[in-house]
Structure 1
Amino acid sequence: MARPRKPLLSRERIVEKASALVDAEGLNAVSTRRLAAELGVSGPSLYNHFRNKDEILDAVADAVSAQVDLSMFEESDPRDWRAALHDWALSYRAALAAHPHIVPVLARGPGRRPAGLRVADAVFGAMVRAGWPPAQATYIGALMRYFITGSALGSFARGFVDDETAYDPADYPHLGQAHLLAERRQQVDEGAFETGLRALVDGLVLQYEQLEPAPARRATSG
């Protein structure tokens, strides 16, 4: 019997199918048995590419990290460090917003994931080149990851029901319009993220201006 021209299974096919399952049904939908059935192969064949489910989910998470734009951190890019942080954060959040169910895996950190490590390396390297001390550059990378992944883990607006009778003004005098938040989820969540992001970057600029030697460091508007 002739062999198929294309292999029935590959890492890419497994990750693609696992990603689709995570996006549609969440992390609990992924199992080696389910993936094998979806891919039309025997269960043991998956182990030629991944040792277990955790490795598959790591690969799915890394595929999302690979979607994050890092061009603003290249030395040839004209953006200053604060514009680069801002634009990168928007790209990172967009990637997470498109795949919210994988965020808990990403929130654990990059581990050994290549794309995740490239993200961390790019942010740290750019901050050090801009004049931040290495320790502070590490803190900035951690701070931004906390903020971005935290914002993607849940929706503030979605936490309110769209029933106007749920928020009795006698009990909640300032929540008279809270029932409208759910239908404005994207506007509220994106507005909150942008507000927080600008506050974070502006706060970092104040710290940057206090670094020594100050004349060697500049934070232009870019």
Structure 2
Amino acid sequence: MAAALVLVDAEGLDAVSTRRLANELGVSGPSLYNHVATKEELIDSVVDAVLGEVDTSMFARLGGDDRDWRAALAAWAESYRATLAAHPNIVPVVAQGPGRRPHALRIADGVFGGLVAAGWPRREATRVGALMRYFVTGSALGSFAGGFPDDATVYEANYSHLGQAHLLAARQQEINESAFAVGLGALLDGLELRYRAVTSGGDAPAQVP
């Protein structure tokens, strides 16, 4: 799994094959089938090994007097993003859903269970978990700032509002991290309002479907 992950990180998912991995390990190709049956199983195992690094322990503490779901979501989102950002080439597979991967299912179970224990209705907890996963996986998929050419002449003639865009690439880590922090804070602020609406004891306001 470690050797396969090195390939994925360096060259992407398409670089992984049982033949290529056997060459990297200095073994015969058929010997790998003692461990994995197919390339798909190999990729699933690599992805799940990475997801094993995501911390969900904060959700186990929710319930009873501890209903600080906001702090739990924030800590989990930061752990999740840091893990995916270290291995961005696996994000397309992660975005497809947990499948049968044990660690991926552990994450889903922990988030959902923690939110319900903190007072979120089950339907709402499902929505919140999905929303957070969209946000985190999207933020880890690529770099907004790094996508801008560092050549100022690209913007001069036709893009008058992008006069400083050539400076973005050099600051991509700072910009990506601050954008994630702003987005996470905004999401949590919105979820705070929704939580109050759906747990108010009466019918939820009309704007909360």
* Aligned pairs (5 A) from 1:72-87: 72-75=58-61, 80-87=68-75
Instruction: Give the match for residue 80 of structure 2.
Output: 92
Please give the per-residue CA displacement for 1:68-97, whole angstroms capped at 9, x wherever unaligned.
Answer: 111211227967100100111001000001
CA contact (8 A) 1:151 1:193 kept: yes
Give secondary structure in 2 for the equivalent of 1:68.
coil
- Picking from 98, 111, 124, the partner of 2:99 is 111
In structure 1, how many angstroms separate the alpha carbons of the residues matched to 2:34 and 2:8?
21
**TM-score if structure 2 supplies the norm length?**
0.91
Indicate whether 1:154 and 2:142 are aligned.
yes
Q: In structure 2, give the amino acid aligned to 1:98.
A: A
- Picking from 23, 36, 47, the partner of 2:9 is 23
Count of residue pairs brought into register by the alignment: 200
Instruction: Give the match for residue 205 of structure 2.
Output: none
Larger gyration radius, structure 1 or structure 2 = 1
Instruction: Give the match for residue 4 of structure 1.
Output: none
Unaligned runs of 5+ in 2: 203-209
Change (3 A) 1:131 1:79: closer
Change (3 A) 1:203 1:93: same
Instruction: Give the match for residue 35 of structure 1.
Output: 21
Instruction: Give the match for residue 53 of structure 1.
Output: 39
Q: Percent identity, aligned pairs only?
A: 65
In structure 2, how many angstroms separate the alpha carbons of the residues matched to 1:116 and 1:30?
21
Q: Quote the RMSD (CA, aligned, Å).
A: 1.6
Relative to structure 2, which stretch is displaced further, 75-84 or 44-53? Answer: 75-84
CA contact (8 A) 1:72 1:79 kept: no
In structure 2, how many angstroms separate the alpha carbons of the residues matched to 1:53 and 1:92?
25
In structure 2, how many angstroms separate the alpha carbons of the residues matched to 1:131 and 1:110?
24
Indicate whether 1:204 and 2:191 are aligned.
yes
Change (3 A) 1:143 1:34: same
**TM-score if structure 1 supplies the norm length?**
0.86
